[in-house]
Amino acid sequence: MIDFTLTDAQTELSERTRSFVSEQIIPFEKDPRVTPHGPTDELRLELNQLARDAGLFAPHVAAKWGGMGLDHTDMAIVFEAAGYSPLGPVALHCAAPDEGNMNLLAKVATPEQQETYLRPLAAGETRSCFNMTEPSGGAGSDPTMLETTAVPDGNHFVINGRKWLITGANGAAFTIIMAHVPEGHGMESGPTMFLAPMDSDGIILDRDIDTMDSSFTGGHCEVLFDNLRVPADSVLGEVGQAFRYVQVRLAPARLTHCMRWLGGATRAHDIATQYARDRHAFGKPLGEHEGVGFMLADNEIDLQQSRLMIWWTARELDAGGKARHESSMTKVAVSEALFRVADRCVQILGGMGMTEDTVVNQMFREIRGFRIYDGPSEVHRWAIARRILKNK
């Protein structure tokens, strides 16, 4: 049976989240603690407490770790409502990269690792980062080009390499590192994940990178691993199996990005719609001019199509599927549709859209970046085509 009707409980949850974000979080958007490299940790913790008080903290986290324990379908509803402000996911503690890292740790980490890393992360006491992407020549859209190495040395590994565009690294308590274990050391080789505190000797924050987006706490950094020694029990999962675990993390994470930015694009559309009602030109409201009215109509179409694709993929995950194909399709379709929405909103606002007087300017920049991270559209199209041809 196909049913796109929300239950009463889902409707209440959506409305409660949207009201919370609109009434309590949006007023913080002009707070000086919102910096070009994202909101500060001081602001994050303040917003987290507001979400706790509202009963909306950590919607994606299992109850055993202190969260709401929602499935992917309910997450889609809450994350969209949270995304109505760039600070909403930060407040609810469901922003990247922590949300994806929590999911990975819950599924792959040992009980000891979960107590050390997941429990304080789920509680909002710490932040995390995920070190995979490397500068030119290393792993990016093609993770098989991994250059960072982890060489076994007794009961330790020694990690060397350089990563960049590492979201949230500045101020993170710990990191998950992707590194290649070379052959010839009497053990399994290949790409491997490691856990390490960010204050470890051998982890150097080389620089903060200025980027077009500004919604992620800790910004984006270039990170150097210089003879970082980590014990053997810091391996996350099994040696040589990192690519398998990356899929555990990325398929749901692609979808949650879609959920959050759907909320952001909806906010931009609402602002543009109100402007089209209020602003007059050539004798009537802007929205009554066919060119502007058609843009609003196209926005409405793109938003609803995006929402339905997100729900479709969420239900596939909730049914126990891996949803690799579905999440790739949704990531491409939604990221490109939402960028069209944001672009039209800037156009409708005209000069106003180029200013910081509304959040539309930021949504345009943020959603443009979304077309690149977690797999550019071109890479996902390539993967989709491969699966089509293989199945045939």
Distances (CA, A) of 367 to 24, 213, 214, 334: 23, 8, 11, 10
- In this prediction, residue 272 carries a pLDDT of 98
3-state secondary structure of 231: strand
| Token duo for residue 126 | 């710490």
Note the pLDDT tens digit of each residue in 89-117: 999 999 999 999 999 999 999 999 999 99
Question: Beta strand pairing status for 190-197 and 174-181?
Answer: antiparallel
Q: At what angle do helices 377-391 and 324-349 cross, to 10 degrees?
A: 140
**Rounded mean pLDDT, 229-256:** 93
Domain spanning 128-240, CATH class:
mainly beta
Note the pLDDT tens digit of each residue in 125-158: 999 999 999 999 999 989 899 999 999 999 999 9
320 by Cβ neighbours in 10 Å (0-12 / 13-18 / 19+) ranks as exposed
- In this prediction, residue 201 carries a pLDDT of 98
Query: Where exactly does CATH 1.10.540.10 map onto the chain?
Result: 8-95
**Rounded mean pLDDT, 170-195:** 96
The domain made up of 8-95 is a member of CATH 1.10.540.10: yes
Query: Where exactly does CATH 2.40.110.10 map onto the chain?
Result: 128-240
pLDDT at 392 over 60: no
Report the Cα 22 to chain-centroid distance in Å: 21
Q: In which element (H, E) is residue 192 found? A: strand 190-197
Nearest to 81, CA basis, from 29, 30, 11? 11
Note the pLDDT tens digit of each residue in 358-385: 999 999 999 999 999 999 999 999 999 9
3-state secondary structure of 181: strand
92 by Cβ neighbours in 10 Å (0-12 / 13-18 / 19+) ranks as buried
Domain 243-391 CATH (choose: 3.90.180.10, 3.30.310.80, 3.30.365.10, 1.20.140.10): 1.20.140.10
